């Protein structure tokens, strides 16, 4: 194994000790140097011995990823990117599914909750901001998603208000006036749904369109079945919408399913916009217009935040709020 | 914590020592008793201290799951079930994505490859049977999928030949005669594609239909894009098919996408059957006929196999071959 450490050092043009410091975290290494060593590690497929590394640095080389559910395409795509990025940094990923259960999230954020992990990335769902702010995890923490209280931890998110405004404005720009929203979640406190509602209403306001309560459909979860049900409710309601902004692609695909079942033409009779840009929406019939968050950047920035805290325990930088880009991808449902 | 151990013991009607033995694996416990203790643990939401448990038993409470890719719906749905089932057994899951890379699979199966895990579940993709047979993982191993050599390790799979025969026979029963197959993978050695091809040809033979090489479309991967491309090739070929059996739902949904793009009616002009029963196919337009493997059972049986080996290191039962049920779910693409 020592010869392979040497190979990495040669490739990166640094000393064996520097490579060892990057791998073990025993001593701080400049960001640029660390990146070069990391690249050499990737190119050579070098995998440091985890057990030996743990002994040296009191670390495990494992990071935790806690998401509501793995079977949801947005989270599985994001988890896939995170696992690959983690591997590039010689970390392996321990996965927890919280199912949006407050108790499961709480357990992760208490001292000792992280257990064997060197760091934790969590996409909270059920916990309210006050609890998140009071979290005392035993390892560095990165929160995914917006409206976590300043100061709780580093967080990485898209600008949900702006993104939702753009999605709604896209529909308004196409001449739609009776625009419904599927996915408001007044019973949840994680903020994302509230922020998207805010952006939706802001776009309506700017266009001088009224807020119609019947057009704001709340859901229990973000699955296709919930979107299909909400679309049924909308179409059975007093005023039929000519467009729908669904807060996730799964909801949008459920709504599209209902539209087809009822013989509506999409987008002629009703236009649909989703959110997440999952693979599924690229092949739906018709392909789905959506807001595409830069998932690759979410993965990279989250792991960079963790690395900065894990490898520099004395790092007292205040928690960072990182906003990753998004873009509206217009396909054939609008 | 000791009081909670007592709660579990009381609920299960066993001694604290027995609960402790189940949790730590320090001494063997009868299968039925272990099941009762496990149920009590689940009901009470008891979570043993991982670090303490590791110290006692030389274990980590972590199992590894190695799959080709997390973003693929079949694997993300299965991984979600496995993570939940593992949690019920107080295990957490370390995830590896191999991307079908032989080197990545090989690394996991060498001594020390499993590293911190107490057991490993792997869905091999690139390795050939001989390599799998020679595997010497440092922890108990379960293989997902068929045609691994007898004796390498416990394995859990559906009966792919029978399932593919049923899917093809379903199309024949609907009067289709020019039935193509999308998903043959002659370049891979993992066997699943070969077994499904075998079942497809067996059904054609029984119906007296000829094998048309142009109708067997190989793919590099099982994604929607590959299915779309294969469907393009089929429709541009000399003899237009009236039905397609795709070896995964993702391939089928890609094929469906192409059919729509070309203005074909499904199922009138061309019928389509997939394999996997992913959520996506339940909401496609039209909803997809598919072979549904019992994923819940795959998860349960895999973890049961691991538990039997992990908790009874002296267990010399020969490797088991477990076949889980599947069923054909007829929806609207046929």
Are residues A9 and A34 part of one domain?
A: yes
Contact B51, B92 (CB under 8 A): no
Are residues A171 and A152 part of one domain?
A: no
Are residues A126 and A13 part of one domain?
A: no
Residue A136 lies in a domain: yes
Are residues A47 and A69 part of one domain?
A: no
In whole angstroms, give the CA distance from residue A252 to residue A226: 10
Domain boundary among the residues A13, A33, A56 is at: A56
Establish whether this prediction's ipTM goes over 0.85.
no
**DSSP conformational letter for B248:** S
In whole angstroms, give the CA distance from residue A178 to residue A195: 20
Are residues B224 and B122 part of one domain?
A: no
In whole angstroms, give the CA distance from residue B167 to residue B17: 51
| CB half-sphere exposure, A93, CA atoms < 13 A | 29
Please return the burial class of A16, using the count of CB atoms within 10 Å of its CB with bins 0-12, 13-18 and 19+.
middle
Give chain B's domain count. Answer: 3
CATH for B46: 1.10.260.40
In whole angstroms, give the CA distance from residue B96 to residue B241: 39
| CB half-sphere exposure, A162, CA atoms < 13 A | 12
Residue B329 lies in a domain: no
Counting as low any pLDDT under 70, the low residues of chain A are 1-3, 23-27, 45-58, 111-115, 147-151, 189-190
In whole angstroms, give the CA distance from residue A209 to residue A331: 25
Quick one: pLDDT at residue B34? Answer: 81
Which residues from chain A sit within 8 angstroms of residue B100, using beta carbons? none
Q: Domain span at residue B83?
A: 60-157+295-324
CATH for B275: 3.40.50.2300
Return the ∠ at Cα A50 (arms to A27 and B76), rounded to 5°: 115
Contact B159, B326 (CB under 8 A): yes
Residue where the block lists tokens 């976590």: A148
Tens of each residue's pLDDT in chain B, 334 residues: 344 778 888 888 998 888 877 766 556 778 788 888 878 877 776 655 544 444 455 677 889 999 999 999 999 999 999 999 998 888 889 898 988 888 888 777 776 555 578 899 999 887 777 777 777 777 889 999 876 556 678 999 999 999 999 999 999 999 999 999 999 987 776 688 999 999 999 999 999 999 999 999 999 889 999 999 999 999 999 889 999 999 999 999 999 999 999 999 999 999 999 999 999 999 999 999 999 999 999 999 999 999 988 887 777 788 899 999 999 999 999 9
Which A positions 16-55 lie with beta carbon below 8 A of chain B? 45, 47, 49-51
Are residues B257 and B171 part of one domain?
A: yes
Quick one: pLDDT at residue A237? Answer: 92
Contact B50, B87 (CB under 8 A): no
Please give the C-alpha separations between residue B11 and each of B20, B39, B43, B86, in angstroms, as whole numbers.
Answer: 14, 9, 9, 21
CA distance B77 to chain A (A): 4
Return the ∠ at Cα A168 (arms to A167 and A169), rounded to 5°: 95
Contact yes or no for B95 and A107 at CB 8 A: no
In whole angstroms, give the CA distance from residue B237 to residue B161: 27
Quick one: pLDDT at residue A131? Answer: 78
Total residue count of chain B as it appears in this document: 334
> Could you give the angle at which helices A16-24 and A31-44 cross, rounded to 10 degrees?
90
Residue B330 lies in a domain: no
Domain boundary among the residues A39, A56, A73 is at: A56
Please give the C-alpha separations between residue A206 and each of A200, A203, A215, B209, in angstroms, as whole numbers.
Answer: 10, 5, 17, 64
In whole angstroms, give the CA distance from residue A113 to residue A102: 14
Which residues from chain A sit within 8 angstroms of residue B93, using beta carbons? 94-95
Q: With left for phi above 0 and alpha for psi between -120 and 50, is residue A47 left, alpha or beta?
A: beta
Closest CA in chain B for residue A85: B97
Contact yes or no for A279 and B50 at CB 8 A: no
Closest CA in chain A for residue B279: A224
Residue B174 lies in a domain: yes
- CB atoms under 10 Å from CB of A31, counted, come to 13
Contact yes or no for A256 and B285 at CB 8 A: yes
Quick one: pLDDT at residue B223? Answer: 94
Are residues B67 and B43 part of one domain?
A: no
Residue B331 lies in a domain: no
Residue A329 lies in a domain: no
Are residues B261 and B182 part of one domain?
A: yes
Are residues A190 and A139 part of one domain?
A: no
In sequence order, which residues have a C-beta less than 8 Å from that of residue B46 and are 6 or more positions away? B4, B5, B7, B8, B40, B90
**DSSP conformational letter for A172:** H
Residue in A267, A250, A236 with CA at minimum distance from that of residue B284: A250
Are residues A303 and A229 part of one domain?
A: no
Residue B44 lies in a domain: yes
Which residues from chain A sit within 8 angstroms of residue B52, using beta carbons? none
> Could you give the angle at which helices B16-24 and B50-57 cross, rounded to 10 degrees?
80
Are residues A93 and A18 part of one domain?
A: no
Are residues B197 and B118 part of one domain?
A: no
Contact B193, B241 (CB under 8 A): no
Residue B334 lies in a domain: no
């Amino acid at each position: 194994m020592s010869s392979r450490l040497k190979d990495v050092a040669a490739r990166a043009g640094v000393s064996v000790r520097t490579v060892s410091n990057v791998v073990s975290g025993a001593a701080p290494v400049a960001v640029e140097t660390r990146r070069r060593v990391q690249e050499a590690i990737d190119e050579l497929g070098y995998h440091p011995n985890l057990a030996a590394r743990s002994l040296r640095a009191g670390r495990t080389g494992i990071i935790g990823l806690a998401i509501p559910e793995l079977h949801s395409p947005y989270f599985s795509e994001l988890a896939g990117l995170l696992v690959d990025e983690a591997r590039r940094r010689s970390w392996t990923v321990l996965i927890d599914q919280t199912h949006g259960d407050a108790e499961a999230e709480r357990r992760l954020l208490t001292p000792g909750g992280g257990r064997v992990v060197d760091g934790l990335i969590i996409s909270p769902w059920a916990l309210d901001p006050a609890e998140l702010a009071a979290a005392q995890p035993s390892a560095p923490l990165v929160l995914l998603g917006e409206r976590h209280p300043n100061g709780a931890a580093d967080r990485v998110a898209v600008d949900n208000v702006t993104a939702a405004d753009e999605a709604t404005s896209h529909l308004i720009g196409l001449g739609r006036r009776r625009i419904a929203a599927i996915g408001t979640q007044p019973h949840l406190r994680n903020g994302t749904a509230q922020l998207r509602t805010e952006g939706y209403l802001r776009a309506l306001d700017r266009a001088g369109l009224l807020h119609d309560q019947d057009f704001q459909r709340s859901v229990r979860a973000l699955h296709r079945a919930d979107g299909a049900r909400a679309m049924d409710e909308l179409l059975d309601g007093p005023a039929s919408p000519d467009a729908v902004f669904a807060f996730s692609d799964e909801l949008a695909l459920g709504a599209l399913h209902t539209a087809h079942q009822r013989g509506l033409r999409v987008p002629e009779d009703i236009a649909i916009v989703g959110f997440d840009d999952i693979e599924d929406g690229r092949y739906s019939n018709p392909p789905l217009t959506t807001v595409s968050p830069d998932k690759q950047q979410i993965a990279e920035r989250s792991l960079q935040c963790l690395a900065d805290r894990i490898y520099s325990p004395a790092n007292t930088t205040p928690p960072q709020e990182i906003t990753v880009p998004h873009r509206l991808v217009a396909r054939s449902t609008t």
